[in-house]
Amino acid sequence: MTPRDLDADHARPEGVPDELVTAVGRFSEMLERIERARGALYEFHQLMGGADAMLDDVVEGLRSTGHENWAARIEKELVGRNAIPGRWSFQIVEEFDDGYYDILRALERDVREDTMGGRRHVFEAEMKQRRRTHGEPHHDATP
């Protein structure tokens, strides 16, 4: 692989060993997985909120059909209940974002800055160069 095969945004900095490219690439991959987990956490938050709002219809339907006892019990025990002790789902999301997620993003960025000159996806860019068929249509090195 020659330096001209990779654009400057993805080229390995001079003197960086394979093991470091692999480790930094793995850290970025780990961040990508956490991004997906964060998306699932936001999905959980939205599903919880929507489900809790649906309970208004449940309570109303039970009341209107003469089932006041069930309506009252659901209203008392379930409507507005914390998802986990002391927290609604928005608080879970905020704590995750302000804690684990923020430090992970900062560390991953700082490691890339220090070891790869801030370049992202160096590992993947090199893999692309190894796997593409040079000279074939739709196998271009860069856009």
Is 111 contained in some domain? yes
CB of 135 closer than 8 Å to CB of 34? no
CB of 20 closer than 8 Å to CB of 67? no
Q: pLDDT tier at 2 (50, 70, 90 boundaries)?
A: low
Is 67 contained in some domain? no
Is 98 contained in some domain? yes
Q: pLDDT tier at 143 (50, 70, 90 boundaries)?
A: confident
CA 104 vs CA 25, 41, 72: distances in Å: 14, 16, 44
Closest to 31 (Cα-Cα) out of 124, 98, 109, 96: 109
Range of the domain at 110: 3-41+79-131
Closest to 117 (Cα-Cα) out of 109, 126, 129, 125: 109
pLDDT in tens, 28-38: 999 999 999 99
Is 62 contained in some domain? no
How many structural domains comprise the chain?
1
Is 89 contained in some domain? yes
Is 103 contained in some domain? yes
pLDDT in tens, 103-121: 999 999 999 999 999 999 9
Query: Model's pTM, two decimal places?
Result: 0.84
pLDDT average, residue stretch 76-99: 98
Is 27 contained in some domain? yes
Is 101 contained in some domain? yes
